[in-house]
Amino acid sequence: MTSPVWHPFTQHGLGAPIPMVVRTDGAALHTADGRRVVDAISSWWVTTHGHRHPRIMAAIADQAARMDQIIFAGWTHEPAEVLAARLVAILPPALTRVFYSDSGSTAVEVALKMALGYWTNIGMPRHRILMLEHSYHGDTIGTMSVGARGVFNRAYAPLLFDVGLVPFPEPGREQVTLDTLDALCGGGDPAAAFIVEPLILGAGGMKVYPPAILAEMRAICARHGTLFIADEVMTGWGRTGTLLACEQADVVPDILCLSKGLTGGAIPLAVTLATDALFDAHWSTDRATMFFHSSSYTANPIACAAAVANLDIWHDEPVLARVTDLGRRQQARLDRIAAHPAIANPRRLGTIAAFELIDRGGRPDGYLSAIGPALMAHAGARDILLRPLGDSVYIMPPYCIDDADLDAIYAAVADFLDARAIA
Ligand code: PMP
């Protein structure tokens, strides 16, 4: 019998087999047919330390023995209180308020609603949101609206709201980015907020831009009062070499979105942090100005306990040293394939290595080209989980990956490149 499961971002009509995973550990997935597969993409960027870190698993088991979901409107619980206090203690001091949700998309939806609520409640309504070209912030209607338009959201285009588009800071064209942002922030219809993925645009193809540009974009927003929303759903928790990517530019946003590595990637949870100004704009004795957002699973206690254990790991273990070391080991291997004629633009930021595959005419292959699935199948046959974004290939393993597994990933990539250069 065929499975009734409808998988995400999967064309079932192609009939590709869907492996059954029965166990995870460290940098590996184990399948029902006995394969050990190296997770070269941290299971869609969520797994930071490694699968099933013992302290996170223990915290989940311990919390599950005491309390499951409770309503979070007007009620609270210790894991949520401890987690919020500890997040505020380690994140930039201006971010004083923690709002819980359950995915990266909802963290971004919350950020957008907080921003619009702010402007409405202070009696100076601003509505327009600005986004950076090639961005991705999620797959809900609101987050698709502030993300790149393309084949993935064509069917829903009539429902997406209008946003101001700031060109990506391509090398040599950074001033265009800054001038456009400046013009869109100000003028007769000033922008409510600008949302960005700091330093690297993930789903847009692992496109990297310099910290100095991030800092300048933040300064322009500050000048115009436009709220600056940092979506660190992918970049947070060490991915780019620091706890937050914003740190590398000395940027403190007005609103910060975190998810994925918040629980070490073990269980869904997200937070949207905000400054006092955002919170105060909603604070009143008038119920009409409260923040009208919730979801059933807000601040799930088991997920919050997992996140507290993640913070313990960050406190007690040399996580940043592991991140630095993984970056160095990625760079050494990337350097060995960097000059290959089948790749372009090799780059690395923190633990993330990326490059484009080019066709024999020296051009990138395009988003729906067959090359991504071909590399995925090639790697899969060698027990490596890779999932290129169109012609952009990236390697983003959990921090615990050892040299043998990292070598296996690069060996699979290298012989794919060789086959492509020869064919
Ligand atoms: N923002 C960014 C930068 C992301 O990379 C993602 C997910 N890849 C999201 C938001 C959405 O997160 P989720 O899939 O958990 O809704």
Question: Tell me: the pLDDT tens digits for 126-169?
Answer: 999 999 999 999 999 999 999 999 988 999 999 999 999 999 99
What is the Cα gyration radius of the chain?
A: 22
**Ligand 1 site, residue 226, Cβ cutoff 6 A:** no
**Chain segment 346-358, per-residue pLDDT in tens:** 999 999 999 999 8
Beta carbons within 10 angstroms of residue 36's beta carbon: 13
Residue 385 has pLDDT above 70, yes or no: yes
* Residues linked to residue 9 through DSSP beta bridges, in sequence order: none
- Average pLDDT score over the chain: 96
SS3 call for 276: helix
**Does 206 have pLDDT greater than 80?**
yes
Least confident of 191-195, 287-291, 327-331: 287-291
What is the predicted pLDDT for the residue at 167? 98
Q: How far is CA 314 from CA 251, 321, 336, in A?
A: 21, 11, 32
Q: How confident is the model at residue 420 (pLDDT cuts 50, 70, 90)?
A: confident
CA distances 288 to 42, 110, 121, 197, Å, are 42, 17, 9, 32
| 259 CA: nearest ligand 1 atom | 15
What is the C-alpha separation between 267 and 300, in angstroms, rounded? 10
Predicted TM-score (pTM) above 0.95: yes
Cβ–ligand 1 contact at 205 (below 6 Å): no
Q: Which two tokens stand for residue 380?
A: 């899969």
Does the beta carbon of 231 lie inside 6 Å of ligand 1? yes
Mean pLDDT of 176-186: 97
Ligand 1 atom nearest residue 104's Cα = 12
Compute, in angstroms, the gap from residue 284 CA to the centroid of ligand 1: 32
Confidence tier at 66 by pLDDT (50, 70, 90): very high
Atom of ligand 1 nearest to the CA of 235: 3
Looking at this protein, which amino acid is placed at residue 179?
Answer: D
**Which structural domains are found in the chain, ordered by start?**
56-316 (3.40.640.10), 319-422 (3.90.1150.10)
CB of 144 sitting under 6 A from ligand 1 = no
232 pLDDT above the threshold of 70: yes
Maximum C-alpha span of the chain: 71
- What is the rounded average pLDDT of the residues 397-409? 98
Percent of the chain at pLDDT above 90? 92
One-letter amino acid at 366 equals: G
Distance 215 CA to ligand 1 centre (A): 22
Which atom of ligand 1 is the closest one to the Cα of 197? 3
Q: Is 240 in the pocket of ligand 1 (CB under 6 A)?
A: no
372 pLDDT band, cuts 50/70/90, is: confident
Asked if residue 262 lies in contact with residue 236, where contact means CB atoms within 8 angstroms, the answer is: yes
Q: In Å, how far are 78, 87, 113, 168, 214 from 72, measured between CA atoms?
A: 12, 18, 19, 39, 35
pLDDT above 90 (res 419) = no
What pLDDT does residue 286 have?
A: 94
Lowest-confidence region among 263-267, 306-310, 402-406, 415-419: 415-419
**What is the per-residue pLDDT for 187?**
83
Confidence of residue 2 (pLDDT cuts 50, 70, 90): confident
Contact yes or no for 208/171 (Cβ under 8 A): no
Residue 196 Cβ < 6 Å to ligand 1 = no
Whether ligand 1 lies within 6 angstroms of the CB of 107 is answered as no
Least Cα distance to 317 among 406, 403, 399 occurs for: 399
Ligand 1 contacts CB of residue 261 (under 6 A): no
Cα(3) to ligand 1 centroid in Å equals: 27
Four-point Cα dihedral 408, 41, 377, 415, nearest 10: -30
**Residue range 255-263: mean pLDDT, rounded:** 98
> Alpha carbon of 379 to those of 19, 66, 132, 204, 416: distances in Å?
14, 42, 32, 22, 8
**Ligand 1: nearest atom to the Cα of 106:** 16
Q: For ligand 1, pick from 237, 259, 392 the residue to mutate: most ligand atoms within 8 Å of CB.
A: 259
pLDDT band at 324 (very low <50, low <70, confident <90, very high): very high
364 pLDDT more than 70: no
Q: Please tell me the predicted confidence (pLDDT) of residue 15.
A: 86
Say if ligand 1 is within 6 A of residue 395 CB.
no
Pocket test for ligand 1, best of 45, 233, 269 (most atoms within 8 A of CB): 233
pLDDT value of position 317 = 98
394, pLDDT greater than 80: yes
pLDDT at 362: 60
The pLDDT value recorded for residue 421 is: 66
Question: For residue 371, what pLDDT is reported?
Answer: 85
181: Cβ below 6 Å to ligand 1?
A: no
